[in-house]
Chain A
Amino acid sequence: MDLILDIATWVLLLAGSILLIITGFGLLRLPDLYTRIHAGGMADTLATFLIFVGLSLQSGLSLVSVKLLLVIVFIFFTSPTASYALAQAGFVAGLKPKLDGFGAREQPKEDA
């Protein structure tokens, strides 16, 4: 039983870490602020979830697991607000997103 739990933890932690590496890679590779926010979104959501669930498997049925799960809930509530603040700040400051072809006609008319 312990072995199964350990293996599950390893799988979850590794999957989360791989997502984090892809996130970091995306932050460097994608062309502008808006697309980089999308890459950051991966670290906020699934990577966090996988790593914290993996950790809570190790602590079993205890208050520590409850705390870890509460951390996930709070991150899921707050991280979209932070992403929105970032995107909104860029937009208000007049930063134009790089749009190639698809959807370019629907660009906003207002010039901030």
Chain B
Amino acid sequence: MLKTISLFLVLMAVWLLLSGHYTPLITGFGVASCLLSALIAYRMDVIDHESHPIYLGPRIIFYWGWLFGEIFKANVDVAKCVLFPKQFLRPSLFTVTASQKSDLGRVIYANSITLTPGTVTVDLDDDQIMVHSLTEDSADGVKSGDMDRRVTQVMKET
């Protein structure tokens, strides 16, 4: 029930941010549609820890900040590689082991790998992640396990 209420609050916040029309009638429609959506989601029993991961809280925000720094560095690497392929282009395919226990943690990890240019998740089988990487540096970045540790930290206490 608590999750349904927080889902309603999130829907309401998004609605208020996106709408921009605050006359009583329109706002009333907004409240009504958010209530209806929350009610249907509650009746369908689709609200669980995966579809509504609010418990990740501030830790995931810090993780996003770190991830953005990595994305920036990786973009520069890939741009260099495109401009000077002879020097940097060293594609490789390898597997790493994800240390997260939950599916959500593995998805966050695999998606983070893909989001960082220069490394793409090709296959995710149980806890084995197959990664295709563009340069030697980007491959080493994944193999060092730094990202893996950080995602596990974000997922702890769940």
Contacts and interface: CB of A to CB of B under 8 A. Distances in A.
Contacts of B121: 80, 84, 87
B93 A45 contact: no
Contacts of B134: 35, 38
A108 B93 contact: yes
Contact of A37 (B82, B120, B123): B120
A38 B134 CA distance: 7
A99 interface: yes
A17 interface: no
B78 A39 contact: yes
A106 interface: yes
B17 interface: yes
A99 B72 contact: no
Interface in B136-158: 136, 139
Interface residues of A, number: 44
B106 interface: no
A94 B89 CA distance: 22
A88 B123 contact: yes
Interface in A58-96: 63, 66-67, 70, 76, 79-81, 83-84, 87-88, 90-91
B58 interface: no
Given A84-B111, A84-B114, A106 B78 contact: no
B102 interface: no
A20 B111 CA distance: 22
B105 interface: no
B20 interface: yes
Interface string B85-110: 10001111111000000000000001
Nearest to A86: B120
Interface of B: 14, 17-18, 20, 71-72, 75, 78-79, 81-83, 85, 89-95, 110-112, 114-123, 130, 132-134, 136, 139
